[in-house]
Structure 1
Amino acid sequence: MAESSEGVSRRNRGPAAAAENRRALIDAAREIFSEQGLAAPFSAIARRAGVGQGSLYRHFPTKIELAVAVFEDNIDDLEHVARAADATLDDLFDSVVAQAKVSAAFVDAVAAARDVPAVQRIGARMISLIGALVDRGRATGALADDIGRDDVMLVVAMLARTVADAPAGEREAVARRARSVFSLGLMPRG
C-alpha cells in the first residue's frame, strides 16, 4: 500500500483512478503554482495531489501541459459565467480578476506558450465567449459600437496581467482601478 501526503495508507487502484488522479493533480497544481509560482517542483504537486510522480508525468509530461489543464478549468468557469442570460462584460471582468489574483503563474505560462496548440484552443474559446458578450453589450447599449472581440480580448489580457503583476496585498485595489479605466474605454461615447 502507498502512503498519501497525509500519512494515510492508500491502495493503488491503477487505471481505475486515472480520472480522479488527473483532477487531484489539476487542483494541486492550481494551489502549488499559486503559492510557489510556475517554478514549483513537480514532486510538490504530486505530493499535494496524493499521487506518485509517475502518475503526474503520465497525465502531464510538461509544466505547460499542466498549466493548460488548469487554464482550461478557468475557461470552463468563464464560459459558465458568460452563458447566463443576463451576463455582461463586467461579469466576465470580475471572473478574470478573481482568477488572476490566484493564478499569476498561469498567466505567465500561457503568455509564454502562445504557439502551443492547446494554448491556442484556449484563446479560441475565450474569443468565442467574448464575442457573445460583445454582441449582448452592443444590443443593450452598454458597449460602444466600435468595440469588437479583439478589443475586449486585449482588455482581458491587460486586466489579467495588471492584476497578476501587482503585489498580492494590492491586487484588489489595482483591479478596481484597472476595471474603472477599462470600463470607461468600452462605454458608448457621445
Structure 2
Amino acid sequence: MGEPEEPGQSVRPRRKDAARNREALIAAGRELFDAGGLSPTLDNVARRAGVGVGTAYRHFANKYELADAVLADSFDAMLAEAERAAAHRDALAGLAAFFDAVLRPQAAKRALLDFLRSSPEGPLLPDVRTRVEACIERLLERGQAQGTIRAEITSTDIGVLMSLMTTLIDTYGRAAPDLWRRFVPLLLDGLRSGVPTPLPVPPLGRGEFLALVNGEGD
C-alpha cells in the first residue's frame, strides 16, 4: 500500500487548475468580446480557452457573468495605470497619461461598457469612480501648485471633459476607433495655465455633476 494522501495534497492542485481555468476563460472572453461584442456564447469562450463547456459553466452561470469578470479584470488594469499616471511628477504629462489610461479601454471595449451601463447597480462603479476621482484630484493639485494647470479648473470640469470624450467614442468609435486621440492634446492645451480666455460660467458642484452623470438632473 502507498503512503496515505495528506489532507489538502489533492485539493491544492485542483484549486490551481480551477484558478488557471478561470484565468483562461477571462482571457478568452476578453479577446472574443473585444472582437465581437457580446455575441459570442459561453460555449464559444470555452472552446477558445481550451476548457470543457462544463468547466466554463462551473465558473460562470452565463456570458453576462463572464462579461462582469472581464470588466472587473480590465478595470483593475485601467485603475493601476491611471494611478501610475497620477503619481507622475509632471502633472500635465501625468494628465495626458491619465486620459490615455481611462479612454483607451473605453474605445476598445464599447460593447462591454454598454452592458455595464445597462446594469448600473453593479459593484464596480462606485469603487472605480472613487479611485478615478482621487487620481484627478492629485493631478490637479500638483499641476496647480506647479503653475502648469489653470487655477480655476476643478475635478468636475475634468469629469465633464471625460464624459464628452466618452460621447465622442460612442458616436464615432465604430467607424474611427482612434479619433479620440486627436482631441486629447486639444483638451490638454485648454487646461494649461496662461490660456487667455476666461471661463464664462462657474463649474458644476460635485453633487450636481454626480446627479447629471446618474441621469437625475433631467
Partner of 1:139: 145
Cα distance, 1:38 vs. partner?
A: 2.6
The 3 A distance-change label for structure 1 pair 151 and 48 is farther
Cα distance, 1:58 vs. partner?
A: 4.5
Q: Is the 8 A contact 1:107 1:160 kept in 2?
A: no
Is 1:16 aligned with 2:16? yes
Amino acid in the other structure paired with 2:161: V
Number of equivalent positions: 177
Q: Is the 8 A contact 1:71 1:106 kept in 2?
A: no
The 3 A distance-change label for structure 1 pair 128 and 20 is farther
In the TM superposition, 1:49-64 aligns within 5 A as 49-61=49-61, 62-64=65-67
Partner of 1:75: 79
The 3 A distance-change label for structure 1 pair 167 and 65 is closer
The 3 A distance-change label for structure 1 pair 46 and 129 is farther
The 3 A distance-change label for structure 1 pair 40 and 186 is farther
Amino acid in the other structure paired with 2:68: E
CA distance in 2, matches of 1:161, 1:79: 23
Gapped regions of structure 1 (runs ≥ 5): 1-12
> Which structure carries more helix by proportion?
1
1:187 to 189, 192, 195: 192
Amino acid in the other structure paired with 1:65: D
Gapped regions of structure 2 (runs ≥ 5): 1-12, 197-218
Determine helix, strand or coil for the equivalent of 1:38: coil
CA-atom RMSD, angstroms?
2.7
What is the CA deviation profile of residues 51-106 of structure 1, one whole-angstrom value per residue up to 9, with x for unaligned ones?
33444444444245222333233222322333344452111112334323322123
Percent of pairs with identical residues = 28
**Which deviates further from its counterpart, 131-140 or 59-68?**
59-68
Cα distance, 1:129 vs. partner?
A: 1.8
CA distance in 2, matches of 1:127, 1:54: 41
The alignment's TM-score, normalised by the length of structure 1, stands at 0.75
CA distance in 2, matches of 1:153, 1:59: 36
Determine helix, strand or coil for the equivalent of 1:51: coil
Amino acid in the other structure paired with 1:113: S
Partner of 1:126: 132
1:158 to 160, 164, 180: 164
Q: Is the 8 A contact 2:87 2:94 kept in 1?
A: no
CA distance in 2, matches of 1:118, 1:35: 23
The alignment's TM-score, normalised by the length of structure 2, stands at 0.66
Partner of 2:68: 65
Cα distance, 1:18 vs. partner?
A: 3.0
Cα distance, 1:168 vs. partner?
A: 4.4
